Amino acid sequence: MTRLMTSPLALAAAFGALAVTACSSAAPTAVPASYLQGTPLDRNAITVAKRTEFLEIDIHPAASQLSLSDKARIQNFVASYRSVGHGPLIMSLPESSANPQLAVSAVVEAREIAWENGIEYEEISGSSHGADSTVSEPLILAYQAYDAIAPDCPSLAAINMADISSNNEMPTLGCAVRTNLAAMIADPADLLGQRSLDEGDSLRRSTILGKFRDGEATGAERSQDESGAVSTAVGN
């Protein structure tokens, strides 16, 4: 019986040749180029588009004040701005108006309505328009908002579900999730990045730290209705 003697050096050379052969093999042709970049969520991304919302309030020549319906429209517009608006709330005074006195008072009243609905005066930006117009221009309110645009999901009818030539995920993977997210998100601007934090209350912070240093309770005292125990809340 003949035994083949192989040196460790020869074995290492043989395994090295096999490794080189394996590495030199071409990538599977069934893998699309797009699958080699990013993830399914990158391929089915939500896009965010900016838009401008407008509200026009007609200035009637014979009126002395805004109508109740116009006031309600301004209130609804301000509520929408507070919910999804970004940047300043623009109020543009018409320079060409058949009733200049009402035009000015309408801007003042619109600012008051905004204030009553939680909009600070610093958030309102004044402007004017229609200086060269030959017709009576309306009062214009405007603000910027964002829309979430869902990805265009491929049709399942165009996908060959029986194709198992590769282990690739389907091109529709994650698309339905992104579409639902685009429909549900309250403010699409949140997809662009995190919001800035409001400044802290320095006076309140100083008060709390002072109580902490003095060993006093930093929380507000609870009323009798807020305090209780199971033994007292539930009768025996």
Note down the domain range covering 79: 48-149
Residue 2 predicted with pLDDT over 70: no
CA dist 229 and 4 (Å) reads: 86
Q: In sequence order, which residues have a C-beta less than 8 Å from that of residue 191 and are 6 or more positions away?
A: 46, 48, 148, 185
Cα-based torsion angle of the residue sequence 103, 109, 112, 117 in order, rounded to the nearest 10 degrees: -110
- Which pLDDT score is estimated for 24? 46
Query: Quick one: CA torsion of 220, 225, 231, 232, rounded to 10 degrees?
Result: 140
The backbone region for 116, taken as left when phi is positive above 0, alpha when psi lies in -120 to 50, beta otherwise, is alpha
Question: Of the segments 41-45, 88-92, 196-200, which one has the largest average pLDDT value?
Answer: 88-92
The whole-number pLDDT of residue 176 equals 87
With respect to residue 136, please indicate whether it lies within any of the assigned structural domains.
Answer: yes
Phi/psi of residue 120, nearest 5 degrees: -70, 150
Is the pLDDT reported for residue 162 higher than 50? Answer: yes
Residues 6+ apart with CB under 8 A from 209: none
For 5, half-sphere exposure in the C-beta direction (CA atoms, 13 angstrom radius) is 0
CA distance 138 to 102: 11
Q: How confident is the model at residue 35 (pLDDT cuts 50, 70, 90)?
A: low
In a domain, 119, yes or no: yes
Q: Is the residue at 222 inside a domain?
A: no
Q: Is residue 220 part of a domain?
A: no
Count of domains forming the chain: 1
Mean pLDDT of the chain: 81
DSSP state of 83: H
Residue 211 within any structural domain of the chain: no
Task: State how far the Cα of 22 lies from the Cα of 3, in Å rounded to an integer.
Answer: 30
Helix 100-116 to helix 68-84 angle, to the nearest 10 degrees? 50
Q: Does any domain span residue 198?
A: no
State residue 152's pLDDT score. Answer: 87
Residue 14's pLDDT is 53
Q: Give dist(CA 187, CA 83) in Å, integer.
A: 8
CATH number at residue 89: 3.30.1330.60
- Establish if 208 belongs to a structural domain: no
- Asked whether residue 216 is assigned to any structural domain, the reply reads no
Beta strands in 83-179 (DSSP E): 86-94, 124-129, 139-149
Beta pairing partners, 151: none
Of residues 38 and 78, the one with the higher pLDDT is: 78
Strand-strand pairing, 47-57 and 124-129? unpaired
